[in-house]
Amino acid sequence: QVQLVESGGGLVHAGNSLRLSCTASARSFGTYNMAWFRQAAGRQYDFVAHDNWLYRSTRYADSVKGRFTMSRDDAKNTVYLQMNSLKPEDTAQYYCAATKGERPTALPDDYEYWGQGTLVSVSS
């Protein structure tokens, strides 16, 4: 069983930055494909970014491209989401997710393991 714990959320003004962390209790963390999703109030999960462990490639949703950066430190079993130039529409509960699947996707159903989420609130 893999446990994921997110941290780093908070309340910030628009234009500011936050860095989210997600630490996993997993053997061979380096072979998990990882992703970040978010869920605003009353909405479904929205894809934010994912990381392919094998090819070391990262993909972003259009809404965050150029502002958010996903990275990972396998030695610390941790993935990060650096969020810059935050906007009020980025307000959501942010979740990290992990899969042993062949490749990461933008679909929440493809991820077996989820954290409890961390809340990001951006005021205008």
Using alpha carbons, select from 66, 68, 23 the residue that is nearest to residue 50.
Answer: 68
pLDDT exceeds 90 at position 27: no
pLDDT tens, residue by residue, 80-111: 999 999 999 999 999 999 999 999 999 999 99
- Whether 1 has a pLDDT exceeding 90, the answer reads no
Dist CA 45 CA 36 (whole Å):
10
DSSP letter for 49, please. Answer: E
The per-residue DSSP string of 63-74 comes to TTTTTEEEEEEG
Between the CA of residue 72 and those of 75, 99, 124, what are the distances in Å? 9, 15, 30
Residues 6+ apart with CB under 8 A from 44: none
Q: Are 38 and 93 in contact (CB under 8 A)?
A: yes
Provide the pLDDT confidence category of residue 14 given band limits of 50, 70 and 90.
very high
